[in-house]
Amino acid sequence: METITGTQAIEKMRLLKGVQNATFGIIFFTHTHFKTEYTNNAKLRKYENCRLRAAKRAEGTSTNSDHYLFFTDLDTNEPRTCWKKLIRQARFGNTWNKVQWFL
């Protein structure tokens, strides 16, 4: 498995927006900043067929939206969001890549 930086992964996802029917896969840790105390309940989520999307106005975030990745899960056609820095793997084509934010 090849290792890429988080910045490279996000850039590849952005480039796929211009390619018809191109998708990416993503694996990331879940997180909520609404909890009042620290819990170690983060889970890995995996989505196989995704495309980037724009944030909806109703998704107003209390944190700078640059920290989020807004995407659509094409298997369910539902909008999803994750913290960019919690992305651990990304698939482009048939190849999964390990994502490291700080090399």
- pLDDT tens digits, one per residue of 36-55: 555 566 688 999 999 999 87
Q: Measured in Å, how far apart are the chain's first and last C-alpha atoms?
A: 16
Between these two residues, 55 and 6, which has the higher pLDDT value? 6
What lies within 8 Å, CB to CB, of 42 at 6+ separation is 29, 30, 31, 86
pLDDT of residue 33: 56
Enumerate domains of the chain plus CATH numbers. Answer: 2-31+44-55+65-100 (2.30.30)
Contact 102, 87 (CB under 8 A): no
Contact 8, 84 (CB under 8 A): no
pTM of the model: 0.82
Q: How confident is the model over 24-35, as pLDDT tens digits?
A: 999 999 876 555
